[in-house]
């Protein structure tokens, strides 16, 4: 079965191009509370999408699911509504799946599940060492539909130099085994176009198949629409890039031995990259 590919955008034209090219989930990213503090100075995506973006993207989709990352569980302040109001608004806006980021406690997950209350699918974004430590208790809760491992923040939490160290050192594999035992769909990390990225996308896709992953985010480098003015160019990049990924996935499903060889090669590349980072 092919990976469910996800792409972050609040642009309806880009969302329609992505959907028509084979993207399975359009990802509206509303998370901003605390994100700039923990990722300050890093070249990471901080979208600041809104409920209005959720409504806008919902109207333009025909087939793809609408995934919305809300903020971590929080109370209301002068600057933003509490989680209850935010989640209600996102569901009313038409979200199919809600993603909870940066949680550290079982209680936060319980609150999230209760607030969603079966009105949409729930996806947990495991991206703190505290969440990993409590993962068995968290996974025992009813109401979790899917799990995703956020490599960027989790690697920061563990003091890693390179996010894919967690793929090389077995952290992701241990989590995936726990998800699988619970019968939950799961995914991790982002992928660029084939041949691109510090760790080439082929190695990451191979690991998705070796570990039984079901979904992945198409990274900003897969198609950085902020650098493109021509919709035809965006369309060409998406169509070519996704076609190449799907063709490569067929190879991954055919060569079991290659998946282990790829794993060992991936570990070597990650070690080299990590050692080169000062």
In this prediction the pTM is 0.94
Q: What is the per-residue pLDDT for 48?
A: 83
Average pLDDT over residues 25-32: 96
Burial annotation 222-255 (CB, 10 A radius, 16+ → b, else e): bbebeeeeeeeebbebbeebbeebeeebeebeee
Q: What is the per-residue pLDDT for 38?
A: 59
Average pLDDT over residues 253-268: 91
CATH class, 4-276 region: alpha beta
Question: SS3 of 153, please?
Answer: helix
CB under 8 A, 24+ apart: contacts of 10-14: 10/47, 10/49, 10/50, 10/53, 10/56, 10/57, 11/225, 12/56, 12/57, 12/59, 12/60, 13/231, 14/225, 14/234
- Give dist(CA 177, CA 123) in Å, integer: 17
Q: What is the per-residue pLDDT for 45?
A: 59
Digit-coded pLDDT (tens) for 185-242: 999 999 999 999 899 999 999 999 999 999 999 998 899 988 888 999 999 999 999 9
Q: How confident is the model at residue 40 (pLDDT cuts 50, 70, 90)?
A: low
31 pLDDT more than 90 = yes
What are the extents of the domains in the chain?
4-276
Percent pLDDT > 70 in the chain is 96
Burial classification of residue 7, based on how many CB atoms lie within 10 Å of its CB (0-12 exposed, 13-18 middle, 19 or more buried) = buried
Q: How confident is the model at residue 34 (pLDDT cuts 50, 70, 90)?
A: confident
Q: How confident is the model at residue 42 (pLDDT cuts 50, 70, 90)?
A: low
């Amino acid at each position: 079965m092919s990976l469910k590919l996800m792409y972050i955008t609040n642009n309806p034209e880009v969302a329609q191009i992505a959907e028509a090219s084979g993207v399975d989930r359009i990802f509206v990213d509303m998370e901003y509370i605390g994100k700039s503090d923990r990722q300050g100075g890093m070249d990471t995506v901080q979208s600041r999408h809104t409920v209005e973006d959720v409504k806008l993207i919902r109207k333009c989709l025909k087939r793809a699911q609408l995934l919305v990352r809300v903020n971590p569980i929080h109370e209301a302040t002068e600057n933003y509504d509490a989680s209850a109001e935010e989640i209600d608004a996102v569901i009313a806006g038409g979200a199919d799946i809600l993603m909870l980021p940066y949680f550290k406690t079982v209680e936060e997950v319980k609150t999230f599940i209760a607030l969603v209350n079966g009105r949409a699918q729930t996806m947990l974004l495991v991206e703190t060492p505290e969440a990993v430590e409590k993962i068995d208790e968290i996974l025992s809760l009813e109401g979790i539909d899917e799990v995703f491992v956020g490599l960027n923040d989790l690697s920061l939490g563990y003091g890693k130099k390179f996010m894919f160290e967690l793929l090389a050192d077995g952290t992701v594999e241990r989590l995936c085994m726990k998800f699988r035992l619970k019968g939950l769909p799961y995914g991790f990390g982002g992928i660029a176009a084939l041949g691109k990225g510090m760790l080439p996308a082929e190695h990451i896709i191979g690991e998705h198949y070796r570990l039984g992953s079901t979904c992945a985010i198409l990274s900003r480098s897969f198609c950085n629409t902020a650098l493109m003015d021509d919709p035809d160019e965006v369309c060409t990049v998406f169509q070519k890039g996704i076609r190449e990924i799907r063709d490569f996935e067929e190879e991954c499903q055919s060569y079991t031995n290659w998946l282990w060889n790829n794993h060992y090669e991936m570990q070597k590349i990650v070690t080299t990259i990590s050692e080169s980072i000062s």
